[in-house]
Structure 1
Amino acid sequence: MSMLLDIPWLFLLIAAFAGYFQTVTGFGLGMIVMGLAGGLGIAPITSVAAVISLMTLVNCMVALPGRLHHVYWPSVRVAALAIVPSIMTGVLLLNYLSASASLIVRVLLGMVIIYGAVGLLLKPGMQAEVAGKASFAVFGGLSGFLGGLFGIAGPPLIYHYYRQPLEPICIRNTLILLFAVTSGVRTLFVISQGQMNAEILLLTAWAFPLVAIATWLGRRWPPPLSANAMRRLVFVLLLLIGVLLLIAGLLP
């Protein structure tokens, strides 16, 4: 805990930037916070994952009001059903690996961060029509597993939704809602396992107001940079962090 008290502002800055970025793009909060906070060792990965879930809920509560009519509801229902069991599997696996194979956790985190970073730049080919319900269940399950493992549910769902012939505002708000579902289920499961400790609550209490303010700023004043420019910036940052995590895990 002393380490956390020594570096609270660094975590807060990471959280605020991540909340702002997710608001203007529809994704990124989990990858940025886990990549930077986990990579810098500000807190244990299990704690950071739990904080990400709580922060995502804050982000969604501020970003979604008045925009639910832009959500593509048929896909949400199917994806949410697949998310629940896969989240539980991810949380249990993280708990097991954190206790017995911490280096493997860093390698897996590095791989997920790199995968998410590459996904920021890729432009999935647009499908002619909206995919079937089974595909939303598959990608929802994959996202749920990553959400349970590291609190990073974004990459699979982001890739799948941006291939659909839907309005961008519909895609963004549907993703934010599904991230809220993922975060809510993960938080409830962590509480049921008795893992919601003082460290997690303290980090969340520090981050809560800044994430809310950053989200509001993102709604009112989007950045002057283009979406592509922001993606490139975050891509470079996450790629470096992912590579460093891989090196740290493979060369202990």
Structure 2
Amino acid sequence: MTLEVLLSFLVISAIAGYFQTVTGFGLGMIVMGATSGLHIAPVASVAAVVSLMMLANSAVALPGKLKHLDMRIIVATILGVVPAIMIGVLLLDVLSGSAANMLRIALGLLVCYGGLSLVLRPRQRETLSSRISFFTSGVLSGLCGGLFGIAGPPVIFQCYRQPLPPVAIRNMLILIFAATSGIRTLFVALKGDLNLEILMLTAWAIPMVTLATYLGRRWPPQMSTLAMRRLAFATLMLIGGGLIAF
């Protein structure tokens, strides 16, 4: 990996880490989409790095932010994530070698769906969804997380339907993504797939993500929620559309 490519990866990681902190999501979609579009590293390698980066982001973003979270629905979601993560990782092993183009297009569609979910969010419910509903969203998110290290869109859509304050939703998402990333990383490590390239990329990226996360907590952007959603939508649609087209 050349210095230019490494620096590009670090810049993308820093931007994604800041975005994740101020919105509760986006790190995986931005890093996976941008690095795949620029052909910086194989999808499987970047997915493993993203999982480790998510853990670093969560370690900085979560302390002191877990008050008043409903752990029952979080546990229900994670129970759906666990088996689906393993299936997704095994499916990635098959597709990364035999269907790389299809995998890239699927990633592009997932990133676009993540962007669309920001502007096509359903009307907020008056009561919390059932734990079965959260479990189902966990299964879908786990499959996405296993394939790409991006557990976001299904669980984001689910959480933003709930009658909860934005700060609670944001912290709930970060906690679920942390659990998802930890499970994925453990499974990949047990398979013996945490190679030197992944560890080196992670070693470079984590300080950048940690710094960006601190900056996001300390100096969030002075933007309205609507403006932030529009910016996120434009960014994710651009990345996802590029992956599908090229």
Range class of TM-score, shorter chain: over 0.9
Structure 2: which amino acid aligns with 1:177? L
Q: How does 1:207-218 map to 2 (within 5 A)?
A: 207-218=205-216
Q: 1:54 aligns with which of 41, 52, 56?
A: 52
Provide, for residues 103-131 of structure 1, a one-character-per-residue CA deviation record: whole Å limited to 9, x for no partner.
11111111111111111222321111101
Partner of 1:139: 137
Could you tell me which runs of 5 or more consecutive residues in structure 2 were left unpaired when the two chains were aligned. Answer: none
Partner of 2:83: 85
Q: 1:188 aligns with which of 168, 186, 189?
A: 186
Partner of 2:245: 247
Root mean square deviation, CA, Å: 1.2
Is the contact between residue 26 and residue 176 of structure 1 (CA under 8 Å) also seen in structure 2? yes
The separation in 1 between residues aligned to 2:168 and 2:236, in whole angstroms, is 26
CA positional deviation for 1:204: 0.7
Could you tell me which runs of 5 or more consecutive residues in structure 1 were left unpaired when the two chains were aligned. Answer: none
Structure 2: which amino acid aligns with 1:70? H
Is the contact between residue 30 and residue 239 of structure 2 (CA under 8 Å) also seen in structure 1? no
The separation in 2 between residues aligned to 1:220 and 1:136, in whole angstroms, is 31
Partner of 1:94: 92
Structure 2: which amino acid aligns with 1:139? S
The separation in 1 between residues aligned to 2:211 and 2:26, in whole angstroms, is 17
Q: Secondary structure of the residue that 1:10 maps to in structure 2? A: helix
Q: 2:39 aligns with which of 36, 41, 53?
A: 41
CA positional deviation for 1:226: 2.4
The separation in 1 between residues aligned to 2:212 and 2:4, in whole angstroms, is 23
Partner of 1:71: 69
- Does 2:117 align with 1:107? no
CA positional deviation for 1:239: 1.3
Q: 1:121 aligns with which of 119, 122, 138?
A: 119
- Does 2:236 align with 1:238? yes
The separation in 1 between residues aligned to 2:236 and 2:163, in whole angstroms, is 28
Structure 1: which amino acid aligns with 2:136? V
How does the TM-score come out when normalised to structure 2?
A: 0.96
Structure 1: which amino acid aligns with 2:37? G
CA positional deviation for 1:34: 0.6
Runs of 4+ in 1 over 4 A off after TM superposition: none
Q: Secondary structure of the residue that 1:128 maps to in structure 2? A: coil
How does the TM-score come out when normalised to structure 1?
A: 0.94
Is the contact between residue 70 and residue 174 of structure 1 (CA under 8 Å) also seen in structure 2? no
Aligned length: 246
The separation in 1 between residues aligned to 2:116 and 2:54, in whole angstroms, is 22
Structure 2: which amino acid aligns with 1:38? S
Is the contact between residue 70 and residue 169 of structure 1 (CA under 8 Å) also seen in structure 2? no
